[in-house]
Amino acid sequence: MRLTLPARPPFSLPIVIRSHGWFQLAPFLEDERGSSLTYVDELASGKVVELAIQEAPVGVSVTVEDELNPAEQAEVTGKVSWMLGLDQDLSAFYDLAGQEPKLAHVPTGARGRILRSPTLFEDVLKTILTTNTLWAATIRMTQNLVSQFGAPLTADPTRHAFPSPERLASTDEATLRAETRLGYRAPYVLALARQVATGDVDLEALKTADIPTAELRKRLLAIKGIGAYATANLLMLLGRYDFIPVDSWAFKMVSSEFHGGEPVGPAEVEAAFQRWGPWKGLVYWFWKWDHE
C-alpha cells in the first residue's frame, strides 16, 4: 500500500537524507542516487515492515508491501513525519538565512531539516555509538546491534528493525561487549534500554515536552554516556538549536573562518554564532565554510 504525506514547503527529500550521516546507519538504506530511502521498522502490532520513502509532488510517498490497518497507517504516518520533519516550520530560519551570504544556499536548497530516527531511543543509542570512535566503527556497531537484536523483516530476513528497548534489556553487558563489540559503551546502552523498558525513563515524551531548552538539555545530560557534544547533537534532532555541537572539527573551521587560523576553544565557537540566538546551532550546521 502507498501513503502520501504532505510536507511544509520548501522541502527536498534528498537534502534531508544527506543532512548528516544517519542515512548510513542501519536500519536506514539509501538508494544509489541518494533520492530515496528505506527503513525497516517494527510496528507496535509486532509487524515488521520496510518503509520505502520517495519524494512526491506535495511531500513524500511511503510504500509498504504489507497491508496496514488504520492504526498501523497512523503509526507509519507519524513516524515518517517525525523522521523527515515534514511539518517543521523553518520560515523564521529562512528569513534570517536570507540576510547572510554564507546561508544563501539554505532557503534555495530547502535545507534546514535534519534526518531523525522514528524514536528518540534509537537516536540516543546511535549518538552514544558515535562517541570517541571513527565513523566506520559507528556504522559497524550500529549494524551489529540491529542484526543481532532487531526483529527480522519477513520478506528479507537479512534485514532487521532497530531493536526495541525490551529486546536489548534482555541481553547482558558481556554480550554487548564481546559479540556486538560496543566496548565501553555497552553498559550505557544496556542501562538505558532497561530504564526505557521498565518505564523509569520516558524518552519519547521529550520529543514534545513543553520545557525550556536548558531543562531539556539537563535531562539529556543525565543519561549515562551522553556528554555535552552528544547532548547538543540530540537537541538539534529535537528541533532545539540553542547549542552548538562543539568538537575538533568545529575548532578547525571556526579557527580558519573567524580567527585567521589561530587556535580556538569552545568559547570562540559559541561566540562566532551567538548573534543567531535560538537558531545558532542550525546556522552552524549549514554554514558555508570557506575552507571546508
pLDDT, tens only, 117-174: 999 999 999 999 999 999 999 999 999 999 999 999 999 999 999 999 999 999 999 9
Task: Answer yes or no: CATH 3.40.50.11060 is held by domain 2-108.
Answer: no
Residue ranges of the chain that CATH labels 3.30.310.20: 2-108
> Is residue 220 very low, low, confident or very high in pLDDT (cuts 50, 70, 90)?
very high
Q: Where are the alpha helices (DSSP H) in the chain?
A: 13-17, 70-84, 91-97, 105-108, 120-128, 135-149, 165-169, 173-178, 186-198, 213-221, 228-237, 248-258, 266-272, 280-286
pLDDT digits (tens, 9 = 90+) for 22-45: 999 999 998 877 789 999 999 999
Provide the b/e sequence for 219-235 (b: ≥16 CB within 10 Å).
bbeebebbeebbbbbbb
CATH among 3.30.70.1110, 3.40.50.11540, 3.90.1280.10, 1.10.340.30 for 120-237: 1.10.340.30
Mean pLDDT of 53-76: 96
Question: What pLDDT is recorded for position 30?
Answer: 87
Q: Please say if the pLDDT value at position 292 is more than 70.
A: no
pLDDT digits (tens, 9 = 90+) for 65-98: 989 999 999 999 999 999 999 999 999 999 999 9
> Is residue 50 very low, low, confident or very high in pLDDT (cuts 50, 70, 90)?
very high
pTM of the predicted protein model: 0.95
Residue ranges of the chain that CATH labels 1.10.340.30: 120-237
